[in-house]
Amino acid sequence: GNILPTSKKTGRKNYSKRESKNKRIKTKRKIHQNKKSMEQKDNEGKPPEASKNISDLLQGIPFPGMGGLFGGKTKFKDILEELKSGDDIRFMQAVIDLSSELSMAQENTLNSFSTDQFVPLLVQGLKKEAFPDIMMYSTICLTHIMDIWPNTCGKVVNEGGVQLLCEKMQNFEYIDLAESAIKALEKISIENPYSVLSANGMIIMLNLIEFFDMAIQKIVLQILSQIAKCMGSQYD
Per-residue pLDDT of the chain (236 residues; tens, 9 = 90+): 444 444 444 555 554 555 555 656 666 565 566 555 655 655 555 554 443 454 444 444 444 434 443 445 678 999 999 999 999 999 999 999 999 999 988 777 788 899 999 999 999 999 999 999 999 999 999 999 999 999 999 999 999 999 999 999 998 899 999 999 999 999 999 999 999 999 999 999 999 999 999 999 999 999 999 999 888 766 55
Distance CA 121, CA 85 (A): 11
What is the model's pLDDT at position 22? 62
CA angle, 174 then 101 then 124, to 5°: 50
What is the model's pLDDT at position 172? 87
Taking alpha carbons only, the member of 168, 233, 155 closest to residue 199 is 168
What is the model's pLDDT at position 27? 60
Distance CA 9, CA 175 (A): 97
Would you put residue 182 in left (φ > 0), alpha (ψ -120 to 50) or beta? Answer: alpha
What is the model's pLDDT at position 47? 53
What is the model's pLDDT at position 230? 83
